[in-house]
Amino acid sequence: MQYAYAEPVRVSGVSVYWYDDTGHGACRVPQSWRLEYRTPGGDWQPAGGDPVYGVAADTFNQVSVTPVTATALRLRVQLRPGVSGGVLAWRVGLG
């Protein structure tokens, strides 16, 4: 999943609300994930600052990172074996 920006933005964190339909379907929170950003030069880099990437259901999983200037953001997600995954909402902290 990826956001792209027309102009570079300053990003300080994200919040992700994972879709989980346990009991009704085969969509679960992921096994793990991480945030990556694209530099103005076009290179993809992992977000820094020792972030903790939560995978809790029924809540926003907030991640603070060392602020970076980015032209795009992406979530690199590892799904759980045998199930699908999804995102209900993704918020980006600018500044």
Where along the chain do its domains lie? Answer: 2-94
* Confidence (pTM): 0.91
pLDDT digits (tens, 9 = 90+) for 16-54: 999 999 999 999 999 999 999 999 999 999 999 888 999
pLDDT computed for residue 95 by the predictor: 81
Q: Rounded to whole angstroms, how far apart are CA atoms 23 and 14?
A: 28
2-94: CATH topology? Jelly Rolls (2.60.120)
Mean per-residue pLDDT, 50-77: 95
| pLDDT at residue 34 in the model | 97
Residue whose C-alpha is closest to residue 81's, from 1, 26, 6: 26
- Residue range 10-19, pLDDT digits in tens: 999 999 999 9
Pairwise CA distance, residues 82 & 37, whole Å: 28
Closest by CA to 8, choosing from 34, 40, 32, is: 40
